[in-house]
Amino acid sequence: MPVDRATRRRITDKIFKAITKGVQDNGNFVFKKSQHVVPVKTGFLKKSGGYQPKKDGWILKYNAPYAAIVEEGSSGGKEYIPPHTRKAYTRKDGTRVKATQIAGYSVDTPEREGRQFLTRAAESELPDLPVNILRALEKHFKVRGNNTTAGKPSSSGGNPKSKSGGKPQTQGSKYKNKFGGKR
């Protein structure tokens, strides 16, 4: 049966939306998995994580300044910290510390092996990507399966648990019209 251009476009749009939804669901699972395996010392790295669905996929990022070093590692050596402003804060004893300008400085950083928490999370959820896409396609397109009743008792075949009690049911409405007959 030929399909017109508008119908074809609607079908392809639904397919792309379903696939994108499956990919976005998978990205959400990757983020949740990365939150479970992220190394926690102070909790700042874990709190800086975020997941954002996009039109064509998703973005997962950790905004802590040292997130890349924790993920990928570092070769060590001198590292230059650029000039920046330290935010104002209140100490535990209640004294208020004003914001201050910090001049740039160098620090010696030790060699550090990467923890690969984000990579491991993505690789662990990658096998589920086709399943997530298939689920999204099934939600967007109501899948009609074979409605076979093999192995199930029929409602008119004398099932004692059915409402008919083994009597064959007649078709039509069970409600009577104003003249006493069935509608």
Please check whether residue 31 is in contact with residue 125, taking contact to mean a CB–CB distance below 8 angstroms.
Answer: no
Of residues 27 and 180, which shows the higher confidence score?
Answer: 27
Averaged pLDDT, 9-36: 93
Identity of the residue numbered 74: S
pLDDT at 101 over 90: yes
Neighbours of 98 (CB within 10 A): 8
Is the dihedral angle over the CA atoms 129, 135, 141, 146 positive or is it negative? positive
Prediction pTM value: 0.62
Cα–Cα distance for residue pair 71/38, rounded to 1 Å: 9
Cα–Cα distance for residue pair 183/181, rounded to 1 Å: 6
Token reading at 153: 């008792």
In the prediction, which pLDDT does 86 show? 87
* Three-class DSSP category at 134: helix
In the prediction, which pLDDT does 53 show? 92
Cα–Cα distance for residue pair 166/155, rounded to 1 Å: 8
- 20 — pLDDT class (breaks 50, 70, 90): very high
Most confident of 16-20, 108-112, 137-141, 149-153: 16-20
pLDDT above 70: percentage of residues in the chain = 77
Looking at every residue in the chain, the average pLDDT score rounds to 83
In the prediction, which pLDDT does 99 show? 93
Please check whether residue 26 is in contact with residue 125, taking contact to mean a CB–CB distance below 8 angstroms.
Answer: yes
Q: What is the pLDDT of residues 129-139, one digit of tens each?
A: 999 999 999 98
Name, in order, each residue with C-beta under 8 angstroms of 122's C-beta and a sequence gap of 6 or more: 30, 34
